[in-house]
Structure 1
Amino acid sequence: MNILLTSVGRRSYLVKYFQDALGETGEVHVSNSSSLTPAFLCADKAVVSPLIYEGNYVTFLKSYCLENNIKAIISLFDIDLPILSANIQAFEEIGVKVIVSKPEVIEICNDKLKTFNFLIENGFKAPKTYISLPAAMEALEKGEISYPVMIKPRWGMGSIAVFEAENDQELEVLYKKVYGEIKASYLKYEAQENLDESILIQEKLKGEEYGLDIINNLENKYENTVVKRKFAMRSGETDCAETVVEPKLEELGKLIGKKLGHTANIDVDVFFDGETPYILEMNARFGGGYPFSHMAGVNLPLAIIKWLKNESVDSELLVAQPGFVGHKDIEIVDISKIFNV
């Protein structure tokens, strides 16, 4: 069984996890829109794809899958998810399973305003959120929220254009800055239909930050929640964390997994003061915090391979040992071979 990881970037560890899961039974292929991609070095086969929003992107992937006997696709990038989700049926017609949530789930996770609405409508706690500068300024004047506040893209990822404002002047300046950065980056693609409502202002949450890996199977049925206490962040993803036992957050993950009905993994950011958890964001893919779960004993790649083969999965395969503390390192990778191709 060959699988394809799209938008693979620097996720070399995931390539290796899936290679270990497949063993001698298949290959891990990867794609990215640039050849300057470190994960290309460890994959069994790599290919440079068109940009996600180019008209031939899906056609390219379908042709590649047919030529290389690919049986499943997994994307590692938020912007890729809605494109692949909208084309699940087209890939199934050529015998390829796209492991991605349904379009409505992707929309809830990618659109942070819809994330907020979903959470509030279903009884979860979330930071107070405003879709316009005047609405946020009015809330500040009324004392509904107080400084500092966070300004961020409505459709955003990786801490791109996320800022903290301490007063009215900073809020106005940073609001304009976020608007400019959205238009100048790939964030413009998801924001382009509603650019005037593409920025959110949120209250800054208090408490310790946790990451949840909420795992459903490929039939969208809940399996388990892995809880990690975060010690450090870098570029919007977990840099150092510890796997912990926290019943309230495990129950929270179970409720989200059942209510959302996602496929495989979602990565959820939570602030928790020991009493009340507040959900900040949800990412419908393998998140940057998954390696901590994996090194603590979870093996979601192997579970996915078994589910694809209609084999039973031992529940212990999705359980993390508490007390594992991990820290991501920085290592220089020689990409001369792929750069000079």
Structure 2
Amino acid sequence: MNILLTSTARRIDFVNFFQDALNDANIEGKIITADPEKNAPSLQAGDENYVIPHQTDSNYMETIFEICKKHNVQCLVPLNDWEVPKIATHKESLEEIGVSVFTPDSEIVDKVRDKGKYRELLKSFNVNAPLSYITIEDAEQALENNEVSFPLIVKPRNGSASIGVEIANNLEDMRFAYQHAVQMIKDSPLDDATYKKPEDNIIIQDVIDGDKFSLDIFNDLNGNYLACFIRRQLAMRGGDVDRCTTVNTTELLDIARKMGENLSHTGYLNADVYFDGNNYYVIDINPRFGGGYAFSHVAGANIPAAIIALTNGNKVKEDWLIQTAGIELARHDMIVKIDEQKGQKIS
């Protein structure tokens, strides 16, 4: 079995997880990495490694198809928010050439990448989201009506990696943050990941102050809920969890199950959930295999093994879907020598 991981960037750990899972299953195959940066550390770790066009490039999907055909890829796992909309759009065509694509369908991707619609989306199955406003005028009116109060958070509706995120403590801050977020969208791949104009792609939200959690929600290829892994965030770095504790809180497990069963997505969703002392609120949903999964893997989960089994039409073992709670975990850096010859281009 050959597995393609796209936008692998620094995630050598993910490459190793999938290599180990193939070996443990006694399955011959290759883990193929692909990233637009020729010096991405992960391109040193795969069995085959490709430098590919950026997802904003018109040749991006053509290159993905060429790699899949060249290596008879049976499984595709995207690791970056920005590429998921394009891969989801071509999911059916990829499946026609024998590739199991572990990303939600386009309809689900569009829903969960628009933070402006979270309250409407999640309310239908009794999951909370913060009060949200799409325009400056709506937010100002809500402030006048005492519906919300400062601080408020201003950010892109389809954001990623904390791009364009600002906290506003007064009207002047809010207006400046709005214009700053618009410019950040124009200057980033976020502008390519939605049909909305940058000015229409901003959300202003009530700030939820309290404990922060990361939820990974995993479904099978038919959208059936399988598992959830929860981590309490202790420290962040560059928009990613740097230190955490694994937890199996009943209320959060219930939220995850509701989301997995009602969204019926394929593969992975990652959600940020904040607790204000009374209620849990879903702040963000990412339709891809999140970097925070590595913590749960160390705590006993094995989703790469489950993905391989699902691709082969085999049964998923229960112990692959369980993490041990109460383990504190932290990231650390490692050094990799870059050999640019390892990152080949598709010809």
Matched, 1:282 2:285: yes
Measured against aligned partners, the alpha-carbon deviations of 1:282-337 in whole angstroms (never above 9, x if no partner) come to: 11111121111111100000011011111111212110011111111133433254
Shift of residue 86, structure 1, vs aligned partner = 1.2
CA distance in 1, matches of 2:174, 2:305: 46
Measured against aligned partners, the alpha-carbon deviations of 1:215-258 in whole angstroms (never above 9, x if no partner) come to: 21222111122221110111222111111121111111111110
Partner of residue 44 from structure 2, selected from 41, 44, 55: 41
Q: How does 1:115-264 map to 2 (within 5 A)?
A: 115-264=118-267
Matched, 1:304 2:310: no
Kept in 2, the 8 Å contact 1:107–1:114? The answer is no
Measured against aligned partners, the alpha-carbon deviations of 1:69-127 in whole angstroms (never above 9, x if no partner) come to: 21111111112111111111211222222221111111112222233431234332111
Shift of residue 191, structure 1, vs aligned partner = 4.1
Segment of structure 1 superposing worse, 265-274 or 12-21: 265-274
Kept in 2, the 8 Å contact 1:299–1:317? The answer is yes
Kept in 1, the 8 Å contact 2:112–2:285? The answer is yes
Shift of residue 338, structure 1, vs aligned partner = 5.1
**Structure 1 residues 338 and 157: alpha-carbon distance in aligned structure 2, compared to 1, 3 A threshold:** farther
CA distance in 2, matches of 1:97, 1:217: 11
Aligned pair count? 341
Which residue identity does 2:60 align to in structure 1?
Y
User: Does the residue aligned with 1:25 lie in a helix, a strand or coil?
Assistant: coil
Segment of structure 1 superposing worse, 190-199 or 72-81: 190-199
Matched, 1:26 2:29: yes
User: Does the residue aligned with 1:79 lie in a helix, a strand or coil?
Assistant: helix
Matched, 1:321 2:324: yes
Q: How does 1:82-121 map to 2 (within 5 A)?
A: 82-121=85-124
Identical amino acids, percent of aligned pairs: 34
Q: How does 1:46-61 map to 2 (within 5 A)?
A: 46-61=49-64
Q: Given the two structures, how large is their TM-score scaled by the length of structure 2?
A: 0.94
Kept in 2, the 8 Å contact 1:36–1:338? The answer is no
- 1:6 is matched with 6
Kept in 1, the 8 Å contact 2:44–2:343? The answer is no
Segment of structure 1 superposing worse, 59-68 or 315-324: 59-68
CA distance in 2, matches of 1:107, 1:56: 22
Name stretches of at least 5 consecutive residues in structure 1 with no aligned partner: none
User: Does the residue aligned with 1:164 lie in a helix, a strand or coil?
Assistant: strand
**Structure 1 residues 166 and 283: alpha-carbon distance in aligned structure 2, compared to 1, 3 A threshold:** same
Measured against aligned partners, the alpha-carbon deviations of 1:132-155 in whole angstroms (never above 9, x if no partner) come to: 111111111221111111010111
Q: Given the two structures, how large is their TM-score scaled by the length of structure 1?
A: 0.95
The Cα RMSD (Å) is 1.7
Partner of residue 334 from structure 2, selected from 328, 331, 335: 331
Kept in 1, the 8 Å contact 2:77–2:289? The answer is no
CA distance in 1, matches of 2:343, 2:67: 23
